[in-house]
Chains A and B, each alone.
Chain A
Amino acid sequence: MRATENLKIKIVLFIIIYFLMPLGYSPAPAEVKLKSSVPGLCYECHRELKEKLSSPAVHFLFREGKCLTCHNSHAGNVKGLMDDVNSVCIGCHEKIRNLLKSQSVHSPLRDDLCTKCHYPHSGNYTNLLVNAEKDLCIGCHENIEAQMDKPYGCSPFKKGQCSSCHNSHGSSEEFLLISAPNKLCRECHAPRCRAGEVSIVSEVAVSDCTSCHSGHGSQIKGALGPYGHKAFLDKECSQCHNPITPGSRITTKKEGEGVCLDCHKKDDSQLKYVSSDIHVKDAKNSCVVCHDSHASGKKSFTASETKICSGCHEKTERNTAAMEKALKSVGCAPVKNRKCFECHIPMHSDRPLNYRDDEIAMCVRCHESQHKVTHPVGPNIVDPRSGGPVTCNSCHSMHAARADFMLTADRNRALCIQCHRM
């Protein structure tokens, strides 16, 4: 009996020790004796870094010699013995980490490395920028540079102070603006909008300034445009509007789209007008659903798709966002940049999903080489899943792809065997 009792105790002890030992036991860390201390030890090899300590702008961790805050001493996943560059940066830069959740995230931050714009250790410019702010931005936004020489424009812009209006990392506003244009502009400009001699400040109090004014530069006084209705730019308001009088609402000469179609006659050879389109059938003026009526940053006068499309197509936007998060990259520029009108032109196309063109041809506009060599597509190639023709969209999804190359399934096999069942 006594022996049995002892055995039970031993078994219980064994179980306890067996399961608890891995949890609680760890050997005391051994004392690592470095040849010399950090950062001196690092500088023994990385001598050029030590010289950079004298730069005008120096990252404080670097200055303080805390090399190991960012770098592993032995191995890393990427060059520089780090696990991942961006992860290291936003590990500390919490604000920027939060901005990653913004509606708009600057593509270098989203798709590239922080080091595309910033030096990690030291530099000559504030915020360790790799170049002067103006030059850094224009380096990518080349088309903006031409506006700098325009006679009229936003003062910070002309000085190259981009960050006065834009948050270079992310924003909930379009164009990475620090705040809504209406609010942002008023920080410097008190509204002085007039139609002829009549002030219309009250009429435009809630308007987006950029619907008439360029935030950058323009040939027209008041920085109107840069693109706009000729009548507007010529200040011929009466061409569309009834006479504007102080204290009265501004009205158009004709109701609805009629005011537009007087001049913009239907021309099916180019862009037809589909009055039954769901997007406009309840609109007062179907044209202004998408188009700016006065000025625009775009030749087509189209409004920002992020404003007008995603408002209704929330699911598509969610899917797109999820896709962007899931995939290594989204190669379709219009999708990536939310240029919905590049592919969809409601009111001007009665094709499915208001496609601008034939589904295949539309992709070919950009993906010419991919179309030159491709899996058979076209009206004569039947998709066994749908019975319809095989198109680019048979394999690729623009808004809900689940696999690389915006494919609906893994290209290695899963995608193929949906049709090619052996």
Chain B
Amino acid sequence: MSMKTLKYIVILLAVICTPADYGNTAISGACSTCHTMHNSQGGSAVATYGASGQPWKGTGPYDALTLGGCLGCHGSGAASNIDPVTGAPQVYHSSASADLAGGNFAYVLGTKGSGASDNKGHNVIDLGNLDNTLTGALAGPPGYHAPVSNFGSTLNCAGARGCHGIRSSSGGVKGAHHKNTSGKIDVADQTYNSYRFLYSVMGYENDGQVSASTKWQNFDASNHNEYFGATAPVVYNGDCTGLCHVAPIGSGGIKVSNNTMSGFCGTCHRAFHVINQLDNSQGIGDDTTSPFLRHPTDVILPNSGEYASYTAYNITIPVARTTVPSSMSSTVTPGSGTAVMCLSCHAAHATDNDDMMRWNYRSSTLSAAISGCNVCHTSRN
């Protein structure tokens, strides 16, 4: 065998053996890492941590016989944004490592950042910290649509009154971890093939192609999630059916008709998102042109004026793509395929800033306070 032949064989083997199936990131490993059949582990009570019941200290049992609630795995107390034992992404961690794309619930409890505040994140019940504002006289999330009884006083990570999975007590993310697909998410007809298990949402998940250690992060301009947006928000005509609630109300399914990230946010915060041609009590206005009553989402970033200058992707102010991309891109193309979205300004989980803002809108330094605005409003600096 000549050296040349040997070289070809080596190259061929390398190609064959290179793991290329980034699209399938279904969970693997020991079942007992996540599940316990009798609400005990090794004969002992399921591991809990956190003082005063925070971030979580449940007694179980948990859905799907897991060791803990969502934070049981995704807020395991690991000193990193990825649990070195289980490999689970940590949406709650107090370490100095970077926050994942959705943010970090630790800011709500003040175990990371500048101090505890209900305002800093979605106060999911797993945190053991009810939102003092939203459980008060106001009740219901900001921008909610009546009746408020739809929302109750608690917010869950998944299932009923949750974001992930099927929004019902019997739904949640049941089984999704075992079938999870990653990378380009453009089917979204099941929880497992929806963007980050947000049922019916499309997008492109940062699946670690650039760097495994930056998986799940919006790391830099060329290494980040890609969010799915639209050229227009859904139109609210007084009837929820067919809008957010594609599945009949009460059947346990809340599905975003346009599959966008902002549309998904709008299923709770409807007043902040929809086009409303009935009145101005909700929505961004009656069409997608300025002036808007509320800051628009799922509206194309104009290729004119100051907006035309936003051309280099900025992970502080991410934008959505109106076509589900097949890869991550470091460029922004105003006027074509780029839309502003809720997550352009807010993080989904929590940040160290009030109102889950991606930057400190309440900074006492004005230039810092508007620094996020200036990414799109490039001449308002």
Contacts and interface: CB of A to CB of B under 8 A. Distances in A.
Q: Do the two chains touch directly in the complex (Cβ atoms below 8 Å apart)?
A: yes
Interface of A: 369-370, 372-375, 395, 405, 411-413, 415-417, 420, 422
B30 A375 contact: no
B38 A369 contact: yes
Interface residues of B, number: 17
B65 A373 contact: yes
Contacts of B38: 369-370, 373-375
B26 A413 contact: no
Contacts of A415: 31
Contacts of A372: 39
A316 to B, nearest CB: 25
Interface in B7-51: 26, 29-33, 35, 37-40, 43
B179 interface: yes
A413 B37 contact: no
Given A395-B37, A422-B26, A373 B31 contact: no
B362 interface: no
A375 B32 CA distance: 13
- B-side interface mostly: loop
Contact of A375 (B26, B33, B37, B40): B37
A422 B181 CA distance: 13
Nearest to B32: A412
B60 interface: yes
Given A369-B38, A413-B29, A413-B32, A422 B65 contact: no
A413 B30 CA distance: 5
> Most chain-A CB neighbours within 10 Å: which of B37, B65, B179?
B37
A374 B29 CA distance: 21
27 contacts: A369-B39, A370-B38, A370-B40, A372-B39, A373-B38, A373-B39, A373-B60, A373-B61, A373-B65, A375-B38, A375-B65, A395-B37, A411-B31, A411-B32, A411-B37, A412-B31, A412-B32, A413-B29, A413-B30, A413-B31, A415-B31, A416-B35, A417-B31, A420-B178, A422-B26, A422-B178, A422-B179
B30 A412 contact: yes
Contacts of A369: 38-39
B29 to A, nearest CB: 7
Contacts of B33: 412
A374 B37 contact: yes
Contacts of A412: 30-33
A417 B39 CA distance: 19
Contacts of A374: 37-38, 65
Contacts of A413: 29-32
Nearest to A417: B31
A375 B39 CA distance: 10
The 6 closest A-B pairs by CB, nearest first: A373-B39, A412-B30, A373-B61, A416-B31, A370-B38, A412-B32
A292 to B, nearest CB: 37
A405 B43 CA distance: 8
A48 B134 CA distance: 64
A369 B30 CA distance: 24
A372 B35 CA distance: 16
Interface in B247-275: none
B252 to A, nearest CB: 19
Interface string B58-74: 00110001000000000
Given A370-B40, A373-B65, A420-B31, 13 more contacts: A369-B38, A373-B61, A374-B37, A374-B65, A375-B37, A375-B38, A375-B65, A395-B37, A411-B31, A412-B30, A412-B32, A413-B30, A415-B31
A375 B65 CA distance: 7
A411 B34 CA distance: 12
A415 B179 CA distance: 19
A372 B31 CA distance: 21
